[in-house]
Every structure is written in structure tokens, then in C-alpha cells.
Amino acid sequence: MALRRLCAAVVAALLAGLVTMITPAAAQAEVQHPRQEWLRKSTAGLFLHWGMFTAPKHLDCAGWERDVTGGGWTPGYWIDEATKLGASYVVLATFHSRLGYARPWPSKIPGSCATERDLLGELVKAGKAKGVKVILYMTDDPQWHAEQGVEMLDSAAYSAYKGEKVDLTTREGFGKYSYDLFFEVMKNYNDLAGFWIDNDNEYWERNKLYEQIRQLQPTWLLSNNNEDTPIMDTVSNEQKTGMFPSYDYPAATFTPMPRLSEACYKLPDTGDWWYSGGDSAVNTRLNVGRYITNAGSSIKSLMAETPMVNGKMPAQQEAYNNFMSSWVPPIQESIKGVEGAGYMYGGMQPGFWNDGAHGVITINPSTGKQYVHVVTRPRNDFVRLRDNGYRVSKVTDLRTGERMRFSQSAGHLTIEGITKWDDYDTVFAVETRGQRGFYDDVKAYATSSRDGFPASNLTDGSYEKYWDANGAQPVSISLDLGRRKEASFLAINQRESSPTHARVSFGRPEDSARIKDYQLTASDDGRDWRHVRTGSLPSARGTQFIDIGAVQARWLRLTVLNTWGGPQAPVYFKELKIDEIRVGHSYPRSARDGALEAEDASRSGSVRSEFCEACSGTRQVTGLGGGERNAVTYRDVSVAAAGTYSLQMDLTSASASSVSVSVNGGAPVSVAVPADRADVPDPTSVAVPLNAGRNTVKVFGTGRSLGLDRISVGGLPPSNYTPKTTMTVEPHGVQWVAPGQQSVKITTRLRLDADDQIDTVSIAPVLPAGWTLTGSPATRGSLRLGGILEGVWTAVSPVGQDVGSVGIPVNASFQLLGSDRKVTGSVPVKTRPADRVFVREAEDSANVFGSTGLTSCGPCSGGEKVRNIGGSPDASVTFPNVVVPAGNYKLFITFTVNGPRSYFVTVNGAAPVEVKLDGVGNNTPSVAEIPVTLNAGANTIKFGNDQAGSPDLDQIAIG
């Protein structure tokens, strides 16, 4: 024992000496470093959660190891499974808070399970033999130390080893213990590739653990989960869901290139991150889509599988690995050693393309070859996407080798005549003759810039230096072309530092910080400005474009009126950042698109063909206003089978108008066309019936300036497709009301987030029987991208009755190409208990949340709670307008927590009172009570903890 203490003291002294050599300056992100090169060239990794609680659970370390070995565990199996997935590395998570804190190596430091067999060493050796790196997972979290009813952390043994009393169940004590483990691993496993760290521990940070890792193992990688810690090499984004399409994982991430980023997700559709006793399905479509879209954003796919005790994968996961082993190799060149295109490495535009198509672009930085990955195929036989100024010379189907027909005009590449679609990803290799059509000497100025992020960064050619608007909205960017020149479009690369849509991730509200509404003006002298275009940009990743026809000017001014993000996500609200803006003067051109060009159709009346820089084939027909006498007639619109189709018309219109379509002499179908530019086409679609074979389609309209560029025919969207909207219904959360008749004011806001057109839009509450409503449905004829519809109503319950428990649905209904769609919100209302004078949910929209966030909680009142309370002054929840008679009361606090934590409760600005709480799990609500003195009328109650994390909050009540 004395010798052990002496050794521990010597190690501590050495570490202390090393700490003194570490400079005290704050860590700076090493965005690019030679040690990262192998990971940058990788596509994927395999994440293995495996330990004592892998089913069947073991509570005895020796028994677990015996069953591991007896079951036939071999390290080569894991390495081979990783290779099947195209993975270059394995992350092993056994020292995990939910897996018994097991260490798969013969550790000399007591404190939790450690094996006698060196499983980690065997895995590292097997990986090295086949070129697969191994990274070790380490946790910061002791809270699950007795989850199974048995203590898994041995504080007494570790205290004896250290020669001091250490409680491993506290964050401080666990931080000290795990800190020692880092150094043991660094000493014994030189061929390890690094650590994957599940969040931070205060003890580690205070003792400069990461800086010491950098000195002792300078080639090792450090990865951190769910946050961008500067000293780490990678940012891991854990289990993102709820995107559209569901496989578009990058849409939920927040890390700009060239920062290394991982997408960390479960391959099994259901169940835990570890094997819990079943054979969960693997959704091939979802997971292949994730694999490809991550590659298209330079994000590494860290795929979690659930090995059993003997190391073997459940049957369906092994089958998926086998599938990938044959599916990946034919397209290997398009996903390995490449970067995501449409960002800082150049390339065409990823995202949503024609007729429901969606995909990404990858680019080989050495050769310049690009790869178009069509993950969701269009409802047509061609793909049309923005070419970003690249002049295409050759297109080949990468799997089949077939040379594809293609055309270019109006800033688009069209790959035509596609008959062979892969079930998961059709890949086209695109060779180009370089990028052209941009001015290289543009200077930028802005009305607001954050210090160190000036407007000059917008046009310096560096995507790592960006402009920051410093929270200003509206904000203007002026672009000086040097002299009067022709401009045709802007190409804008916004900072990829936010997700693309509103969401809640691990209780933290997130939103898009991208441009929504804009105005573009032009000037010859920088003083007198004329209108060019107004519109909305989609909240989407990659290069975004604003076409302006042909504008002659020296100056262009882009005024950003607002961004997509709202105040509910303060981290992203008004946080506009832009990497680069380029001014384009011309588009690459080749043969015409595979679409039906208006100038090739029959014309009647005053319809005429004229030049149009931004139009397909550089021409459009104008003069379509005035009714059916001025028309364009297509006499050979052919389809293989009779049915209803989507007819897309690319129209120009300088004033509000409408367009009508008559098919085969039938009654015309009309739709509104919003005002825009007379030389920039925008799509408008209608549903039309077509016969098998040839059809005649006549297009005409109203308005003084209606023009037609082209039409195309595709299938209708699937019946389960609803364009993405954001619908906000207030009040949010269960409304607890007094007995007797009550009124509830309901406010609803619907925003269209997709680049679709929806028609006949209506919003209205649906009342329970006996209730009455003041206010009419909110309606609009149509909405386009970014359009908003709002409504306000008052719902009144029956006279002489208590509300009881009811839900008031709020329905937004609309049509998409003639088909009905609906999105729904709800206002739940309940009569509060007789022994309570006030009840409010923590998630109620009347509260002020600071930097906290809402999260689902099935057992909680209303199914939600507020988490991430505490740790900083702004991480608080404030309940304003707590209206009661004056008096002394009991404040009932419903919370969830795993282990001891505290709130500091402030009433009406008085001194905070600490409320110490303890609980058995984050999904088990408990109730505590404290005495409070409240004023007559409105009171304010605040929950927070400036220094440390607090329990999650479900509800408060006064009684």
C-alpha cells in the first residue's frame, strides 16, 4: 500500500510539473493540422458501444470478461465489419456511463471494471494490420454509477490508491479518476489514434488535460460530442433527426468547413446505442442516404452498431454491412478522398433540384472532377441543377459507365435521358473545363460589421475569412464592380454555422441564421439607387443564387431584411455570417435543355420571342397577357401513360398576374403569378390531365408583362409529401385555468419553408362541443417560399361549466397541385386542481427561457419539460405574471433529475434561495415544495443556478 501511494505521489508530481509547462493562454481551434489528414481522407467510422451492460447485463466484471472470451470475441471481426462499411476507424465505447464504466484493458488504477485480457491492445493491433485506426471513448459523467441498483464505481479502492479520500460519484472525484486513466492509456497504447470525449469535465479543463495530451501524444486526435471545443480536432453531431429529407443529416449540423465534423448516428432504427437483446431493423434507405449526404458536406459518418457480448453484430446489422461491402466499391472514387461541393472547395449546388430530386455534390480537389449524387430521384427522366459557372465537358454514369446526354443554359446543368436509377444513389461523374463567368476584382462594403470580420472578407477569395453582420438587421452589402458593367447573378456562400431550420437538439433551441428576405438595388454612382429585385432565399446549405437578368451598373447593393431564425433560439437569432459573395456576368451555354422551350412552340396574337439572359436557351416569349388570344401552344407534349401530371411553367412577370393552362381543348386551369422581374423566370406548377402519347397544351394569361421561358412535365408529389412549414401556435403548453367559464386567446403563424407553391391556404381552430369562437379563418390565395399567414382568435368555453380537460386543434389546410394537405397544432386546456391557485407548465410560451430549451418528456405534465437550466446566468427560466392574491403560499416544483442538484429560486427580484433536490432519473418527475410570500396581482419567479447545472423543470404550482 505504501509503495502504491508513493507511485501515485510520483505520478501526481510529474503531472503537476507538466501542467506548469502548459501555457495559460486559452486554447485556439487547430482547424487544420497534419495529424488530421488521415481522417480528412476518410468517409466513415464505426462506433461500438459495448460493455458490462450489453445484454445480458453483467454486474460482475470477471463474469463479463469470461463470457466475452468464452463467446469467441476476436478483434479482427470488428475490423472486418468496419472495412465492409468503408470505415477508416473504429471508436470503442466501453468506459461509458450507461455500460458499467468498463475498461477493456488490464488497468493498474482501481475504480471500475477492468479486464485481465488486453482487449483494447488486441483491437489496436488488429486495426493497424489492416489500416483501420482505433479511437477510445471516454466519458465525463458519473451520474449513472448505480443505475442497475449496484454501485459500479469503487471510491474506496481509488481513494486508497491515491492516498486521499475521493468520491467517484461526484463530478470532481470522477474527473480526477478518469484524468488518471487518460495518462495510463497514453503510456501503454502508442498506436491508438486518439480519444472521443463525451463532453467535458471541469477537473479536466482546470488541470489542462487536453493540452497535456497534445504534448504527450501529438499525433492523436481529440473529438468532442455536441459542442465545438476549440482544442478538439473534430466536432461530433449526435443523432440528428427530424430533417427533410430524413437522411439529410448535414441540415442539422452547425460546423463550417474546413473544421472536421462527424455525424454520429445509430444504424438500428430502434433501441439503445448498445445491444439490449433484440435484432433491430436497419433502414437501408435512410442510412445510405446519410452516408452519401454527409460525404457531400465533408462530414464523416460515425455509424453506431450494437455488438453482442461475444462481439458479433445482430443479424440485420451484419446484413447491412454485407450489403455496403458490395454497394460502396463501384462509387468509391466519389466518396473517399473527396470534399463536399458547393462550399469552400468549389463545385455545383447541392440540395433540392427539379421535380422533387434531392442530392449532393462531391468534388476531388486534385482533379476537379465532380460527382452528382442523386439520392432522391426526380419525378422525371432528367436532373437539372445549378452549375455555378462550371462549363461541363462530359457526364458519365459512374456505376454503369454510360455516357450521358447533357445541356447547359440559364445557370443550370441538365443531365438528360436517365433510364437507370440506383435504388439509393445514382452517381454521375462530371468533368468540366473550369469555372468562369465571374468578376474577380469586386470590392465589398457593409453598413455593419463585427470587429475583425469586415466586409472585405466577402470578396477576398477565402472561405475561412468571413463577414459578420454584428447582429444588425436590416443590413446592406454594397458591391463595387469598379466601373459600369453587366451583372447577371450573385452567388452567395453563407457561413454553415447553423442548422437549416428550427429544431430542438438535446433541449437547446436551434434555428437557421441564413438570409430570408432580401432587396437588391443598383447604382451607377453609389448615390442614386434603382430597384433590381426583391425575394426570399431558401434556408439551405451550399451556394445560393440571386438571378437578376442583365443589369448594367457599377454598384450592386444587397440588403438583407431578415434571416430565417427567430428569437426563440438566441444563439442563432440575427447571427448573419457570409463567407463569400461573387458577382456573375454570364452563364455557360451549350445545347438547349431537354425541356419544352416556349420559343419553339406555336404562338398566336401578340406573343413574340425575345432575348433573355437568365432564360433557358437565352430566349423567352412575351406578351402572354390579355387572355386566350395571346397564347403559346405546344402540340407534342408526350407522356407514356394517361394520368394527372405536374406541369411546370418557368414564367417571368414584372407585375402580379395569372396564368392559365388548357390541355387538349379542355377547360383552362388558372393560378396566380406574383410580381418579379420581366427577365428572370420563376417556376409555377399546375396539375393537368394528360393522355397517353401526344397532347396539346395551350398557355395564356393576364397581366401586362407575362412571359414564358419553358415548360416541363413530371409526376405529382407523393401523397405523403407535405411541403415543410413552420407553424407556431400560442399559447404553447397546457393552459391551467380557473373553474367556470374561461376564454383563451389563440395566435397562429404559418410560414412556408419549402420552395413550393401552396394554394387556398386557411388556418382556423377547431373547437370542442359547446365552445364559441370570435374571429374568422385566416386565408390567403397562395403562399410561396418564406410566405407567412397569421390569425388570432378567442375561444370561449360553455357558460356555467368547468373546462375539464380538452384540446383545441388549430388546423392549417392548403392545396399542393390540387391535392389537399394539412398541418396541425393544438392548445390543451385543463381546469387547475381545487387546492391550487396557480399552475403553469415550464414550457409555457408565457415564460422567458434564456439559453435553456424545451425537450420532450413522456411522463411529464404536457409531455414536455425545460432542460439545460443552470451553469450560467442566462440559463434560467422566468415565470412572469404569476397572478395570485397576496399571502404566504407553498410553491410546488415538479422536476426531473438523476442525482443531487440545486435550483436558486428568485421571487420578485429578492435574494435567491437555494433549493437542493435529488432524484432517480431524468424521466421520473418528482415534486418538491418551498414556502414563498407573494404580492397581490402579478409576481415573477425565476429558476436558475449561475454556477452549476440544475434539475430539468416540468411545472410549478401555487397552493
Q: What is the pLDDT of residue 25?
A: 36
Q: Is 27 a residue whose pLDDT tops 60?
A: no
Residue 920 clears pLDDT 70, i.e. is over it: yes
How confident is residue 570, by pLDDT bands cut at 50, 70 and 90? confident
pLDDT digits (tens, 9 = 90+) for 581-610: 999 999 999 866 556 899 999 999 999 999
Neighbouring residues of 495: CB distance < 8 A, sequence distance ≥ 6? 256, 466, 513, 577, 578, 579
Cα–Cα distance between 761 and 791 in angstroms, integer?
12
Q: According to the model, what pLDDT value does residue 312 have?
A: 98
* Fold agreement between 2-7+36-329 and 838-958: no
Does the pLDDT of residue 178 top 60, yes or no? Answer: yes
- Beta strands (DSSP E) in 718-757 are 725-730, 735-737, 743-752
HEC per residue, 605-617: CCCEEEECCCCHH
Percent of the chain with pLDDT over 90: 89
CATH code for the part of the protein at 339-435: 2.60.40.1180
**pLDDT tens column, 33-79:** 999 999 999 999 999 999 999 999 999 999 999 999 999 999 999 99
| Across 238-242, 288-292, 354-358, 532-536, least confident range | 238-242
Quick one: DSSP state of residue 379? S
- Cα separation of 513 and 570, whole Å? 10
Q: What is the pLDDT of residues 403-446, one digit of tens each?
A: 999 999 999 999 999 999 999 999 999 999 999 999 999 999 99
pLDDT-derived band at 230, boundaries 50, 70, 90: confident
Model confidence band, residue 568 (pLDDT cutoffs 50, 70, 90): confident
The CATH class that applies to domain 443-584 reads mainly beta
Task: Please give the grid coordinates belonging to residue 266.
Answer: 445509430
At 663-715, the pLDDT tens digits run: 999 999 999 999 999 999 999 999 999 999 999 999 999 888 899 999 999 99
Cα within 13 Å of Cα(393), Cβ side: 7
C-alpha distances (whole Å) from 535 to each of 46, 471, 561, 784 are 44, 21, 10, 10
Residue 24 confidence class, pLDDT cut points 50, 70, 90: very low
pLDDT for 13 equals 40
In the predicted structure, residue 184 carries a pLDDT above the cut 50: yes
For 643-667, write each residue's pLDDT tens digit.
999 999 999 999 999 999 999 999 9
Distance CA 736, CA 832 (A): 5
Question: Residue 894 contacts by C-beta under 8 Å, 6 or more apart in sequence?
Answer: 860, 861, 925, 926, 927, 953, 954, 955, 956, 957
Over the stretch 722-749, which tens digit does the pLDDT of each residue have? 999 999 999 999 999 999 999 999 999 9
Beta pairing partners, 856: 864
Which pLDDT score is estimated for 899?
79
Query: Which of residues 571 and 308 earns the better pLDDT score?
Result: 308
Mean pLDDT of all residues belonging to the chain: 94
What is the secondary structure of 834-869 as a DSSP string?
TT-SEEEETT-TTSB-TT-EEEE-TTSGGGEEEE--
Element (H, E) at 281: none
Assign a CATH topology to domain 596-714: Jelly Rolls (2.60.120)
Better-predicted residue by pLDDT, 15 or 461? 461
Torsion region of 238: left, alpha or beta (phi above 0 gives left; psi -120 to 50 gives alpha): beta
Higher-pLDDT residue of 23 and 243 is 243
DSSP reduced 3-state for 185: helix
What pLDDT is recorded for position 753?
Answer: 95
Structural domain 2-7+36-329, CATH architecture: Alpha-Beta Barrel (3.20)
- pLDDT value, residue 29: 57
Q: Where are the domains of the chain?
A: 2-7+36-329, 339-435, 443-584, 596-714, 725-831, 838-958
Q: Report the pLDDT value the prediction gives residue 135, as an integer from 0 to 100.
A: 98
What is the mean pLDDT of the segment spanning 299-304?
Answer: 98
Q: Structurally, what CATH architecture does the domain formed by 725-831 represent?
A: Sandwich (2.60)
What are the cell numbers at 638? 408526350
CA dihedral 668, 674, 676, 677 (to 10 degrees): 10
The answer on pLDDT for 1 being more than 70 is no
Q: Would you state the pLDDT for residue 593?
A: 54
Q: Single out the residue of 870, 921, 866 nearest to residue 893, CA to CA.
A: 866
What is the tens place of the pLDDT at every residue in 897-914?
987 899 999 999 999 999
pTM for this entry: 0.92
Nearest CA to 366 out of 328, 333, 332 is that of: 333
Give the separation between CA 231 and CA 409, rounded to whole angstroms.
46
> Which fold does the domain 838-958 belong to in CATH?
Jelly Rolls (2.60.120)
Question: What does the pLDDT read at residue 592?
Answer: 62
Contact 864, 733 (CB under 8 A): yes
